Amino acid sequence: MPLYSTATLPRLILPPIDIRRQDRDMALPVLPALPPPPLVGANRHMGGKQKAVVVMGSTGTGKTRLAVDLALRFGGEVINSDKMQVYAGLDVATNKVTAEECAGVPHHLIGVAHPDAEFTAADFRCEASRAAGAVTARGRLPIIAGGSNSYIEELVDGDSHAFRERYDCCFLWVDVQLPVLHGFVGRRVDKMFRRGLVGEVAAAFDPRRTDYSRGIWRAIGVPELDAYLRSYCSGNEEERARLLAIAIEEIKSNTRRLSCRQRTKIQRLAKLWRVRHVDATEAFRRRRAAADEAWERHVTVPCVASVRALLYDDVTPDHSSTSAANNIPVFAPAAAAAVEAAIV
């Protein structure tokens, strides 16, 4: 498995920065600057198992936001489980987390594989297990987050359940009703084009390439632009415009199909594992401050309660309810007070 050396791709550890953003319809609020709880002792059961969090969800549902929220509150580090983001390059096409979105939280397994390599589920299991071991050795909480459920399933249940033997896992599923999600991912594709998707793919385009079934070249946004990029030889501006419009619609359509497939796979996994399901639809229906409030109430608060229960064995969270009133996070008192006041 050819991986880039650390000299070529340094490990992503960034200084804390302001993460307020408005280019994804929801701002990413700055969380209270509270010290993370010590996990060296807390991240173990009496039986000696370590703890890990797994964040699942279809593309565009806010997995990165939740993973960073939890990492900031509980002293965690994020391990990427998106099969396109493990490859180096094409940052816009693969929607890699930005420095701003990382908010100083270390992220692992992003941009580590050669673009032409075949990074299999077994490769991911080995690398993610190694990364999780290093995270826990530092007394931190591993948070596995990404949309490639085949990777997650291989990590959790592959190799004779070795990961489950070592870790007690908290499984979190961020869900958004498909009609609302599909509208959001369509807008996100438009933003990707404004951020330079075409130029990025054009810079990596090789007219000799006809196989888009391996490596990073499978990423949605790459094969769809092939016909458009080849049309530059024709010199017909009208034809190029038509092909670009077709590519945009294909990217949106393929992204919607991907979200449906991912949701179906998660539903299957939810029957096998004990999964905390949270519905973020209301946050995606709203904008700005109202979206942030809905995200905190419907997603962050119940997920924080579940992780807190996993780490400290103090309560058993009610997985059938996402009532914010009963799940105020203890590590963010200022945010908790605001949510409690909103409920009252």
Q: What is the pLDDT of residues 49-106, one digit of tens each?
A: 999 999 999 999 999 999 999 999 999 999 999 999 999 999 999 999 999 999 999 9
247 within 8 A of 213, measured Cβ to Cβ: no
Looking at the chain, the domain(s) classified CATH 1.10.287.890 span 183-255
How confident is the model over 250-260, as pLDDT tens digits? 999 999 999 99
If you average pLDDT over every residue of the chain, what do you get?
A: 82
pTM here is 0.80
In tens, the pLDDT along 287-296 reads 989 999 999 9
Can you give the three-state secondary structure of 114-169, one letter per residue?
A: CCCCCCCHHHHHHHHHHHHHHHHHCCCEEEEECCCHHHHHHHHHHHHHHHHHHEEE
For 50-177+272-343, CATH number out of 3.40.50.300, 1.10.150.50, 3.40.50.10420, 3.40.605.10 equals 3.40.50.300
CA-based R_g, the chain, Å? 20
Q: Please classify residue 271 by burial: count the beta carbons closer than 10 Å to its beta carbon, then call 0-12 exposed, 13-18 middle and 19+ buried.
A: exposed
Range with the lowest mean pLDDT among 115-124, 258-267, 309-318? Answer: 309-318
Grade residue 29 by pLDDT with cuts at 50, 70 and 90: very low
pLDDT of residue 344: 23
Report d(CA 74, CA 312) in Å as an integer.
11
Higher pLDDT, 334 or 293: 293
Write out pLDDT tens, residues 154-188. Answer: 999 999 999 999 999 999 999 999 999 999 999 99
What is the widest separation between alpha-carbon atoms in the chain? 70
**Residue 312 pLDDT:** 87
What does residue 255 show for φ and ψ, rounded to 5 degrees? -70, -40
Residues 192, 220: Cα–Cα separation, whole Å: 12
Within the chain, all domains assigned CATH 3.40.50.300 are found at 50-177+272-343
Please name the fold of domain 183-255.
Answer: Helix Hairpins (1.10.287)
**Higher pLDDT, residue 294 or 27:** 294
Q: Which of 234, 265, 264, 229 is nearest to 246 (CA)?
A: 229
Report the distance separating Cα 322 and Cα 213, nearest Å.
40
Per-residue pLDDT at 218 exceeds 70: yes
Please check whether residue 185 is in contact with residue 57, taking contact to mean a CB–CB distance below 8 angstroms.
Answer: no
The torsion region of residue 140 among left (phi > 0), alpha (psi -120 to 50) and beta comes to beta
Phi, psi of 14 (to 5 degrees): -115, 150
Whether 113 contacts 140, CB under 8 Å: no
Nearest-angstrom CA–CA distance, 244 and 173: 35
State pLDDT tens for residues 121-134.
999 999 999 999 99
- What's residue 48's pLDDT? 77
Q: Are 114 and 9 in contact (CB under 8 A)?
A: no
Q: 3-state secondary structure string, the chain?
A: CCECCCCCCCCECCCCCCCCCCCCCCCCCCCCCCCCCCCCCCCECCCCCEEEEEEECCCCCCHHHHHHHHHHHHCEEEEECCCCCCECCCCCCCCCCCHHHHCCCCEECCCCECCCCCCCHHHHHHHHHHHHHHHHHCCCEEEEECCCHHHHHHHHHHHHHHHHHHEEEEEEEEECCHHHHHHHHHHHHHHHHHCCHHHHHHHHCCCCCCCCCCHHHHCCCCHHHHHHHHHHHCCCHHHHHHHHHHHHHHHHHHHHHHHHHHHHHHHHHHHHCCEEEEECHHHHHCCHHHHHHHHHHHHHHHHHHHHHHHHHCCCCCCCCCCCHHHCCCCCCHHHHHHHHHHHC
